[in-house]
Amino acid sequence: METQEKKIIFSGIQPTGTFTLGNYIGAIRNWGKLQDDYNCIYSIVDMHAITVKQDPAQLRKHTIEAYALIMACGVDPQKSIAFIQSHNKCHAEMNWVLSCSTQFGELSRMTQFKAKSQGKESVGAGLLTYPTLMAADILLYDTDVVPVGNDQKQHIELTRDLAIRVNHHYGKTFVVPDGRFMKEGARIMALDDPTSKMSKSAENIHSRISLLDEPSKIKKSIMKATTDSDGIVKFDAENKPGISNLLNIYSALSEKTVAELETMYEGKGYGDFKKDLVEVTIDALAPIKQRYQEIRESKELIEILNDGAQKADAIAQETMKRVRKNFGLGIE
């Protein structure tokens, strides 16, 4: 009986600040769980981060922190390939090749571009074209599956369209990837505005819980979290978005279902619920913080980082050989 070859997964995350509970519950925690069933390739996509102005020293700091944090959250460099995007020059080359097959209208219709450019007199070209770089990230590794949130559906559709278009015009060049879209419950919202996604760059620090937050900060943010006035611990995303968001967080960190939590807190108020959620959150993040400190202080971190870059480059170079040949680039 033949052993079925594992499918390839690619996923990336920007190093624009310390990862939040939203990043952890919605994406990074699952990266470790996927390693035994897939050939996983994970990237800290620092080139995407510069679509908006960054402080260079802070970006480098956040990039190495992000790399250490994904390992602290369960990514094992012995099982997966983990690397920093800018360490592999093939991403920029592939981006240009794909840009020449991408239509302006496709990019200008992107929902995220419309939202981020709205009301601005001018925006950088990178904000318009970064979905093509995202497609390059994915197609460079013959990716089969891309685990993403529902807000990235358009980008996955563009990636698939580009792969199919190139394959039609230039012959079989790319694997056409499938999106693996996360359940809506995995989407963690801001603590101060449960109608907006939790963001690591939001101005209000109490809108989020970062993975490296001190216990006192975690407590303050949760106790200040927006809820409603009826005090009933019940999930109702439409009418009670605040407590529903906190229930999602509690459920994700405790492995209890939302229904079990509703029963546990029947007849109790938000105060008791929030106090318990503080303890659950602190306990869940403590081992991540400890592991992160060990990794950051390790002399092997740079060696692991460089090894990941070399492994990623070896795969990417093979893909680019095929791309250059099919597009007629270079002299054989």
Is 112's pLDDT higher than 90? no
Q: In whole angstroms, what is the distance from residue 128 CA to residue 267 CA?
A: 51
| CATH code, domain carrying 274 | 1.10.240.10
What is the signed CA dihedral for 51, 56, 57, 61, rounded to 10 degrees? 30
Helix (H, G, I), strand (E, B) or coil at 145: strand
Q: Do both 132 and 248 map to the same domain?
A: no
Number of domains the chain contains: 2
Q: Do both 113 and 228 map to the same domain?
A: no
Of residues 113 and 57, the one with the higher pLDDT is: 57
pLDDT range class, residue 114, cuts 50, 70, 90: confident
Is 3's pLDDT higher than 80? no
pLDDT range class, residue 2, cuts 50, 70, 90: very low
Which of the residues are catalytic? 116, 197, 200
Which of 296, 292, 300 has its CA nearest to residue 78?
300
Is 1's pLDDT higher than 70? no
Q: Do both 226 and 287 map to the same domain?
A: yes
Q: Do both 169 and 92 map to the same domain?
A: yes
CA distances from 165 to 6, 161, 169, 170 (A): 26, 6, 6, 8
Average pLDDT over residues 39-44: 97
Is residue 220, in this structure, part of any structural domain at all? yes
Average pLDDT over residues 110-118: 78
pLDDT computed for residue 186 by the predictor: 62
| CATH code, domain carrying 153 | 3.40.50.620
Is residue 188, in this structure, part of any structural domain at all? no
Q: Using a pLDDT cut of 90, give the percent of the chain over it.
A: 81
Is residue 3, in this structure, part of any structural domain at all? no
Is residue 312, in this structure, part of any structural domain at all? yes
Is residue 186, in this structure, part of any structural domain at all? no
Is residue 147, in this structure, part of any structural domain at all? yes
Domain hosting 252: range is 205-293
Q: Do both 308 and 233 map to the same domain?
A: no
Q: Do both 229 and 274 map to the same domain?
A: yes
Average pLDDT over residues 193-198: 92
Q: Do both 278 and 153 map to the same domain?
A: no
Q: Do both 270 and 232 map to the same domain?
A: yes
- The DSSP secondary-structure symbol of 210 reads B
Q: Do both 69 and 171 map to the same domain?
A: yes
Is residue 332, in this structure, part of any structural domain at all? no
Q: Give tens-digit pLDDT for 124-175.
A: 888 889 999 999 999 999 999 999 877 788 999 999 999 999 999 999 999 9
Q: Do both 118 and 217 map to the same domain?
A: no
Q: Do both 41 and 167 map to the same domain?
A: yes
Is 265's pLDDT higher than 60? yes
Average pLDDT over residues 212-240: 95
Q: Do both 50 and 138 map to the same domain?
A: yes
pLDDT computed for residue 285 by the predictor: 97
Residue 171, sorted as left (phi over 0), alpha (psi -120 to 50) or beta, turns out to be left
pTM listed for this prediction:
0.91
Average pLDDT over residues 171-189: 84
Q: Give tens-digit pLDDT for 278-332.
A: 999 999 999 999 999 999 999 899 999 999 999 999 999 999 999 999 999 988 6
Is residue 304, in this structure, part of any structural domain at all? yes
Is 183's pLDDT higher than 70? no
